[in-house]
Chains A and B, each alone.
Chain A
Amino acid sequence: MYTQAMDIPDESGKKLASVSNAPSEQEAAFEARIEADGRIEPQDWMPEAYRKTLVRQISQHAHSEIVGMLPEGNWISRAPSLKRKAILIAKVQDEGGHGLYLYSAAETLGTSREQMLEGLHSGKAKYSSIFNYPTLNWADVGVIGWLVDGAAIMNQIPLCRCSYGPYSRAMIRVCKEESFHQRQGYEALLVMMQGSEAQKAMVQDAVNRLWWKCLAMFGPPDADSPHSAQGMRWGIKRISNDELRQKFVDATVPQAKVLGVTLPDPDLKWNEARGHYDYGQIDWAEFWNTVEGNGPCNKERLATRVKAHNDGQWVRDAAQAYARKQQERAMKEAA
């Protein structure tokens, strides 16, 4: 899973440009290393704006993984075969793992998980808007694997070369696991498309609802993407939104054909001159409305995360209290 939210400023991201007041020698060394495609590690000096941008980007990515557990989790209890149930549990669990790897990467920048969760729970931090849409039939699970994770992989592979070491290492681990996610989704859809009319209709319905949301996942057009240029220069972002989106469309059209589903875009056609598929207009007004909290499921998703965290407080406290008692006992014994 993945976030387009890379480009979406939040409270902390708005005033970044003016933050940096570093000694010029350190700054020059940093810039030179970036220029040479070198890696930055946690203890290296880095401009405050670079640190903040990374924390924002990585935590948004982590939040997307965690919130992204919910739409698919919605079908675990109802998976129509035990094999699919096991696959789905493993996949949703993997997303939790990806969130964890990413939170860990962000923690190396001096922001605790608790702080990041506060950002998510208070609504300040963003996550991918794709998860603010409901999963309405079983085929949604397959389509999320095929298209949403497919879009994610497009986005994530370049991030394996991200300039920040811990982030790039986390992404390598994530990417290794992610290809299972896309393949299981596509395979589940293939089986359904060979099944009954009702099964085929489920697949087409899910594609119709999710296709445009997936295109929007790559973020606003390059022209309207204020953070992109800086991110590219810093090696935090490697390929532009529009380029990735095009790559995704080009890769997906033949897959849809094999599957036998129609992508719901009358303007979608091969452009010989460009060597790419042309596609129609994305509804950016709807996208921004969802990002701003007004999508069909924003409130449900967030409230569910907050509830899980709050309900789990006594569990975390208990473990901590027990660990403390054990430590005290050990110290008494030693004394």
Chain B
Amino acid sequence: MNAPADYLLHLADNAVVLGQRNAEWCGHGPILEEDIAMGNVSLDYIGQARLLYQLAATRLGGDATEDKLAYFRDDTQFRNYTLLELPHNGPLVGYAKADRDYATTIVRNFLYGALMVLVWDALEKSSDSDLAAIAAKSLKEARYHLHHAADWVVRFGDGTEESHQRVQAALDHLFPYTEEFWTPSAVEDAAVASGAGVDVRTLRAAWDAIVNDTLGQGTLVRPQGRGYVPEGKHGRHSEHLGYLLGEMQGLARAHPGATW
């Protein structure tokens, strides 16, 4: 059975928003080699988003296209995790500006990467064969993303005093946002019921194991939850998504109907 289109959009929005964020480093990386590596991560995410939007567009029919879905939906229609839209710095209001912090970038890629390795692995067996094919391709990419991010988490944690302090601060800031992973939305429930989706609650133990192992290697402390569950995947976002989409969608929306 096919996955509900909204479920595909949830997966696609995750990928496009994180791809957009990671690509902000292009040309500004801490060293040339890493700049190039992060470019590959961004490209993988944009690639995943395209496949998922294309599939969603086919399922939705009408005049839906990959770019209509990415560029002409408003922030309340976006179904990505709140974690993924946050800027590359500590907690600040939407219009505040701060330097990008690589520890924040890496910790987010790690927390999300650890989830997606498990999600794609499960979705390889999806009853939706098109989604299963995307999962098979994405799983390889996700493994590399997780490897890349986990490697840096350990290096930062067990590196210098400054890097340890930065990566711990990034963890403290971002970890609470992962609560959203574990509370299924109605769309996710529907996807599970159809046999096309994965019940995220079944992934939690494996995710905990990955996270605890890496944090242990990096001599880092796992932050306590604070009872707050973000609701990005329900379309209720942080102050940051509006800015991200304003930038991403502005040119396309100034020329509706144009081909690029």
Contacts and interface: CB of A to CB of B under 8 A. Distances in A.
Given A92-B27, A315-B102, A82 B66 contact: yes
B50 A86 contact: yes
B46 A86 contact: yes
Interface in A183-201: 188, 191-192, 194-196, 198-199
A89 B23 contact: yes
A80 B39 contact: no
Given A76-B23, A195-B259, A314-B163, A82 B31 contact: no
Interface residues of B, number: 50
B11 interface: no
Contacts, number: 143
Interface stretch (A97-105, A242-250, A266-274): A97-105
B250 A85 contact: no
Contact of B260 (A66, A84, A92, A319): A84
A: interface residue count bin: 35 or more
B171 to A, nearest CB: 15
Given A317-B159, A317-B160, A319-B155, A312 B26 contact: no
B31 A195 contact: no
B177 interface: no
Interface in B34-66: 34-36, 39-40, 42-43, 46-47, 49-50, 53, 66
Contact of B158 (A311, A316, A325): A325
A73 interface: yes
A314 B160 contact: yes
A138 interface: yes
Give the 4 A-B CB pairs with smallest separation, nearest first: A312-B30, A318-B159, A318-B163, A93-B39
Given A81-B71, A319-B159, 16 more contacts: A69-B27, A80-B255, A82-B16, A83-B260, A93-B40, A103-B32, A195-B258, A196-B257, A304-B28, A311-B99, A311-B100, A314-B162, A314-B163, A315-B34, A317-B163, A318-B163
9 contacts: A77-B20, A78-B248, A82-B16, A103-B32, A196-B255, A196-B258, A198-B255, A312-B34, A325-B158
